[in-house]
Amino acid sequence: MLSVWLRVIRIRFLLASVIAVSVGLAINVWQNQTFNIFDATLVFGGVLALHASVDLLNDYWDFKRGIDTTTKRTKMSGGTGVLPEGLLKPSSVYRAGLIFLAIGGMIGIYFAITDGITIALILGFAILSIYFYSTKIVDSGLAEIFVATKGTMIVLGTYFIQSGQLTVEPVLGGVMVGSLSSLVLFIASFPDYDADKSKGRKTLVIAVGKQTGTRIFWIFPAISYSVTIFGVALGLFPALSLIVFASIPLVLKAGIALKRNFDSVEDLVPPMSNSLMFSRITGSLFVLSFVLDSLNINAV
């Protein structure tokens, strides 16, 4: 049963939130040479609970709307398959989603009390957007914007809790990693195109069409790389952050394969996998650049 719950929570996709929190922590250490392990642990717990909540509620609503029963599931798209296979009751998944939302909310309330209105505003955005993500946000073609904004809020909130400051660095860092997560979501909506469209969902790929979508794909890595260059050029990020460009071969491989195979569900699995790998490696390299530069500063 535990394996089923881990499957519906989509454990491997939680790494996106781990990276976002890590970016906020790493920027603070790089700038201020401070680190509060208690607050960091609580932030990780709260953010992961909220991430699990949105995935659980998304599985529930996609099943209730019949999307997951008509789409062709792959290891990268089409939901977890837990509800269509009857491994869990829909009501159990829905309740679990609300429980994780409550856990994340309570941790957020703690920080709103200790750190003030900034965290309260971020928390309010998080709770409302998570609850309405699968019923309103995705249907409006705004899912990618939500994911990018979520990434930015996680980085900014983490940084603020650690430092008590609002600066441009965590905002730019959030946009950088948020765009990476949006890329993963965007390409994963290609194989779900027909099922989503038949049930009235309007994802970004449905709004622009698959062929145009293969060109829009490049916007997400372009934003991440451009923000990195901008940050380094202005001294907002360490020069070492340019190591993120080591991931270029992965995104080139994914984008080229997408253009060739955008209409074949089976052939979309490799570009989706490469996009996921690109996102995680690029985000991890970004975190590493701040950590290594901080160690170098302290050594000097």
Each residue's pLDDT tens digit, 177-200: 999 999 999 999 999 888 888 877
Mean pLDDT for 265-290 is: 94
- Residue 278 vs residues 93, 219, 241, 284, 291: alpha-carbon distances, Å: 30, 14, 15, 10, 20
Question: Is residue 77 one of the residues assigned to a domain?
Answer: yes
* Residue of 9 and 199 predicted with greater confidence: 9
- How do residues 44-56 score in pLDDT, each as one tens digit? 999 999 999 999 9
- Flag whether 210 is in a domain: yes
In this predicted model, what pLDDT tens digit does every residue of 222-246 receive, in sequence order? 999 999 999 999 999 999 999 999 9
- Specify whether the backbone of 44 is left (phi greater than 0), alpha (psi in -120 to 50) or beta: alpha
Least-confidence region, from 139-143, 196-200, 272-276, 296-300: 296-300
Higher pLDDT, 31 or 138: 31
The total number of structural domains that make up the chain? 1
Return d(Cα 91, Cα 97) in angstroms, integer.
Answer: 10
Indicate if the pLDDT at residue 300 is higher than 60.
Answer: no
Please check whether residue 218 lies inside any domain of the structure.
yes
Determine the structural domain holding residue 91 and report its residue range: 9-299
pLDDT of residue 84: 82
Q: What percent of the chain has pLDDT over 90?
A: 64
Indicate whether 3 belongs to any domain. Answer: no
DSSP string, 164-212: S---HHHHHHHHHHHHHHHHHHHHHTSTTHHHHHHTT---HHHHH-HHH
Q: Is residue 278 part of a domain?
A: yes
Structural domain includes residue 147: yes
2 lies in some domain: no
| Residue 52 counted as domain residue | yes
Return the minimum-mean-pLDDT range out of 41-45, 87-91, 176-180, 278-282: 87-91
| Calpha distance 122→108 (Å, rounded) | 9
List the structure tokens of 254: 């994914």
In the prediction, which pLDDT does 297 show?
64
